[in-house]
Chains A and B, each alone.
Chain A
Amino acid sequence: MKQPTFLLDGMPVPFEEGQTIMDAAMAADAFIPHLCHHPEFKPQGSCKLCTVKANGRHVSSCTMQARDGMEVENNTPDLNDKRRTLLQMLFVEGNHFCPSCEKSGNCMLQALAYELEMLSPHFDQFYPDRPVDASHPDVLLDFNRCILCELCVRASRDVDGKSVFALSGRGIGKHLIVNAESGRLADTDFSLLDRAAHVCPVGVILEKRKGFAVPIGQRLYDEKPIGQQMERLAARTAKVEV
């Protein structure tokens, strides 16, 4: 039987039954912007960066199953405009000062902002009050940069079996919490060896005494824009990210 195929911006993309649009695009090395998606974990569908138009309807490509003959719009001015607005929302919702951030150059949020030509935050800043947690001997948590993608939540629960992280609150007050009575990371069994210590796409979960290790010019997204790195993004696993 012929392998089922859908069209991504006119390009035929083959897929296996049950694969999502995102899975198939990743396998075909075709870039769809995303933040909360990671090939190792169950899709979540919350950041909405991966929104595409499939047969005329807007859907999240990381959760939507591909269908034979589907026509998917991805890299269009209208969708990229919406994605830019979503990025601006994520930027103003937290406190992002890229020049002083250890993750700068290796950060997916920043890389997507470059990719989608976001030139300013546009909206007024929310300036939330999110104190850092420096209690752990090896890891610093800077909640100011959290985009609530729940990758650390999923990794700690599903891979490490520890459930160190969770999201709490609702609406604009939603925030990441640490599962300890004191709320401090030092009072959990979290360790640098955990999968969750290495999945954060932005600069929240940081190894202590290791900031700015790679010089500007050689960082992950200095070499190539994120739009040309789908192959690497698709190959993200525990082995390469530790």
Chain B
Amino acid sequence: MQVSGASGVCLAMHEFSRRIAFEDVPTAGAFMVFGAHRDMFEVARNFAHFFAHESCGFCTPCRVGTSLVVRCMDKIAKGLGSQHEIREIFRIHRLLNVASHCGLGQAACNPVFDTLNKFRPAYERRLRSLDFEPAFDLDGALASARQMTGRDDPGAHFVGESQGFGVHP
């Protein structure tokens, strides 16, 4: 349950008996209830897009930070995420929280941060590895070169991890 709008706090099932105090409703008295069938990762990803879209772009942390969080969340959604993205999100959250010019940036990572803490499995089951994955697809990046040279033989393809050649140790 998301209390007080997108920048408020997200409560998990085990907190349902908790009392909601004044500090919990900093922005508005709104409640959003998400059923058990909802994927809390997708909920948070949607919020991340919302904040990147809403950022006015005045200050550096919020302008760039909200977009960086979107990139991390999209990378995880594509199945290319790793613990690296999770650490990045935490780091950006800590920066935006204290350095943003206004409340939007300060609270922009709250839903991502809360769901990460309380619905961690929703994130982790999407991670490709617990270490690091590059955001770009090396073989995909060669596509334009293949087109220009008219080649499509095995030698013109990058053989990745799945074929047994480790990109990473």
Q: Which positions in A face B, CB cutoff 8 Å? A: 45-49, 51, 58, 60, 82, 85-86, 89-90, 92-93, 123-124, 126, 147-148, 167, 169-174
Interface residues of B: mostly helix, strand, loop or mixed?
helix
Q: A47-B59, A124-B71 are in contact. Are A82 and B98 (CB under 8 A)?
A: yes
Q: What's the Cα separation between A207 and B57 when bound, in Å?
A: 28
Chain A residues with CB under 8 A of B71? 124
20 additional contacts, CB 8 Å, given A89-B60, A126-B67, A170-B56?
A48-B59, A48-B99, A48-B101, A58-B98, A60-B101, A82-B95, A82-B99, A85-B91, A89-B64, A89-B65, A148-B57, A171-B55, A171-B56, A171-B57, A171-B66, A172-B63, A172-B64, A172-B66, A174-B56, A174-B57
Residues facing A in B38-91 (CB within 8 A) are 52-61, 63-68, 71, 91
A126 vs B101: C-alpha distance in the bound complex, in angstroms?
Answer: 22
Alpha-carbon distance A173/B57, docked complex (angstroms): 8
How many Å lie between the Cα of A169 and that of B58 in the bound state?
Answer: 10
Chain B residues with a Cβ closer than 8 Å to the other chain, count: 26
CB <8 Å contact, B60 and A171? no
**Known contacts A48-B99, A48-B101; A93 and B57 CB within 8 A of each other:** no
Q: When chains A and B are docked, how far (Å) is the Cα of A124 from the Cα of B56?
A: 22
Partner of B60, one of A46, A124, A126, A167: A46
